[in-house]
Structure 1
Amino acid sequence: MAITISDIAQKAGVSLATVSRVLNDSGYVKEETRIRVQKVIKDLNYTPSAIARSLSKNKTNTIGVIVPDIVNPFFGEVIKGITEVAEKSGLNIILCNTDESKEKELRALKILTEQRIQGIIIAPTSAEDEFNSEYLKTLENMGIPIVLVDGNVKYTTFNGVFVDNIKGAYEATEALIKEGHRKIGVITGRMNSKPAKDRYLGYQKALLMNNIPLEDRYTFYGDYKEETAYKITKNIMKMKDRPTALFVCSNMTTLGSLKAIYEEKINIPEDISLVAFDKVEILNILGFNISYVNGPSVEMGKLGMQMLVDILNNKNKNEIRRITLLPNLVLKGSEKYKIKQK
């Protein structure tokens, strides 16, 4: 049978209001009364309900975190960074996964509002260039601080932490060009998201800066999903004049591409070269030497959470802060041009 504050009040010989003040450390209570109530609480092994306490204070000690794909290791590392700072700040986390669905993201925002959370960190799914009045109105009416990570929400001025995706993609493509590649294919991410657009822009910029024509036949539009990249790469491998190198724009895309490449018994870099955006840790563990652009995902999570903590502590409350982190290129040999000329 659950212990209630009524049981504590009765055993301590005090009112419900006095027990409530002791539990919430609010209002005046005589020291001897406070000690007596605390002893009863300990004797009865009573654990106060977080929900009940949040109702009395009209807020929780909790923040919401919304990501589009909890299975993706990139967002796992972002969450790791968020959690590390949250724990040090005495904050709890409610994690929501949207499966890259705009409808699920909107529902998550509404659910978190009902939970009386203090703030939200969100990696948005909603299209960066899309005007969604219901979505924007929901964000504006939440009345709590919101910090963006990885992706932007157009028509808003939220604080955020991002990665310089243009720079990362440019350097990845340029590494292939320096090896002698001229026929470089790209498998993009979901092109209604700013990270995907910026990575494609970086790829285009590298070609143009090196006087290499941008050919539509070497642009393959993906959606960040492993299965889509697998199907695209299967088709690429059947091309008569296929690219000599691929720049793949996300970690899950990398996995799908590699699966297709190895199924076709094609070797990297002897038959085709490849550079990926984002680290795939399992490849390093298994000894696959795939070159990649390393986006500082854990650091992004830490900075995003610290930004939110600062706002909650009234630091930089009225200042819009948008931090862009620089990625770094890790070359492991898969960019090399070893393809024999026919």
Structure 2
Amino acid sequence: MRYPHKKKITLATVAAKANVSTITASRAFSQPEKVRPDTLKRILESADQLGYIINTSARNLRAKKSKTIGVVTPDMVNPFFSRLAQLITHEARKRGYDTLIFDTCESQEIEKHIIDKLIGYNVDAIILAVISNDKYYQPSYLERLKILDIPVVLMDRELETDYCSGVYIDNFDCGVQAGNWLLKQRVRQVVVVAGPENSNVSYERVKGIKKILQHRIHSLDILYADFFMEMAWKKTKRWLENNTVPDFFLACNNQISYGIIKACIEKRVMHQTSLFSIDRVTYADVYGLHFPCIHHNHQEIALQAINLAIRSVEEPGVKAKKIIVRGTLIV
């Protein structure tokens, strides 16, 4: 929460609140790599709390290019994000850039801390998959990045902002493709296990599924969980304890798929049902399993993200751009 104030907030006000000199406070905005990370964090947080906005001339004060790009993911345990981080690093290296990779562990506090760190490391750009699936999530650090002229490329999770470029999956189309394939199988009962109900990713995927399947099959049920295995396992297990086994479970990401598989194995019903996964179920073939899925081209997403990031660095002032990558049905 920002403190109420009547007077104009100056750099000296920020410095006083952060208990540093005005010179150090100024350096935090012009040459952040020369400020100790803990001091930088304190100054930036003080500025944010006070509602301090530096003069736009600060855009020109950043130090020379570092040839380094920050990559921030919400969950490196998820093969989707770990693979993207690996491919982005590979593509960046081919273009002469290094990467700094961070995992926010789906924590807003950690995400903010990491962005402060990356500012301190003087990265040229940041490729960011935010912790929230809510399109209207507005982290305060975006304004600081804009002031410091650090380009941001959003990945997978979209925000309502005109500052950031982005590479996104066509989530509605994922649902439509999944629904069309299931309809062709003449299924009667489908249980969809999705992420949070307020998630834009969940909303679009479920909307696509409903467009095709609702009122066209005997039963379509939606279970809202999160995008992790544990919650999907609990929700699926509870469903199986109180309902008949469906023809198909439809998982809205790969981690949800693992939770469904675990629940079905525990309840000994894997042979009675089938699974469709939005995201490939990694290493399923090692165990002799095959699940129809929507596969996302990690190489294409990574390439588009690094291209947008480097272009924004090498062509200052270029307009933000949104790229949509469509998934591929694999049966």
C-alpha distance after superposition, 1:45-82 (max 9, x if no partner): xxxxxx89xxx954422111010001110011211221
Which structure has the higher relative contact order (CA within 8 Å, separation 6+)?
1
More displaced stretch, 69-78 vs 106-115: 106-115
Give per-residue Cα distances to partners, 1:258-278, cap 9 Å, x unaligned.
01111211134xx11210011
- Give the C-alpha shift of residue 116 in structure 1: 0.8
Q: Is the 1:63–1:120 contact (alpha carbons within 8 Å) kept by the matching residues of 2?
A: yes
- Residues 1:85 and 2:91 aligned together: yes
Distance of 1:74 and 1:80 partners within structure 2 = 10
Tell me which of 178, 181, 185 is aligned to 1:179: 185
Amino acid paired to 2:292 = S
* Counterpart contact for 1:78–1:299, Cα < 8 Å: no
Alignment-derived partner of residue 255 in structure 1: 258
Asked whether the 8 Å contact 2:189–2:218 carries over to 1, the reply is no
Partner in structure 2 of residue 211 of structure 1: 216
Shift of the 131–294 alpha-carbon distance from structure 1 to 2, 3 Å rule, reads: closer
Q: Radius of gyration: which is bigger?
A: 1
Count of residues in correspondence between the two structures: 273
Give the TM-score, by structure 1 length.
0.74
> Alignment identity in percent?
27
CA pair 127-260 structure 1, distance change in 2 beyond 3 A: closer
- Secondary structure at the aligned position of 1:219 is classed as strand
2:310 corresponds to which residue? Answer: 309
How far apart, in 1, do the equivalents of 2:198 and 2:147 lie?
25
Which segments of structure 1 move beyond 6 Å, counting only runs of 4 or more? Answer: none
Q: Could you tell me how far apart the structure 1 residues matched to 2:77 and 2:83 are? A: 11
Counterparts of 1:295 and 1:304, CA distance in 2: 14
Give me the whole-angstrom Cα distance separating, in 1, the residues matched to 2:259 and 2:185: 24
Give the secondary-structure state (helix, strand or coil) at the position aligned to 1:238.
helix
Contact map agreement 2:189 2:219 (CA 8 A) in 1 = no
Q: Secondary structure at the match of 2:231?
A: helix
**Partner of 1:102 in structure 2?**
108
Structure-2-length-normalised TM-score: 0.76
- Give the 5 Å matches for 1:7-156: 58-132=64-138, 134-156=140-162
Hey, what's the Cα distance between the residues in 2 that align with 1:85 and 1:284? 28
Query: What do the CA deviations read for 1:179-213 (whole angstroms, capped 9, x no partner)?
Result: 111321111023333222211111111124x6347
1:132 CA drift (Å): 3.6
The answer to whether the aligner puts 1:230 opposite 2:236 as a matched pair is no
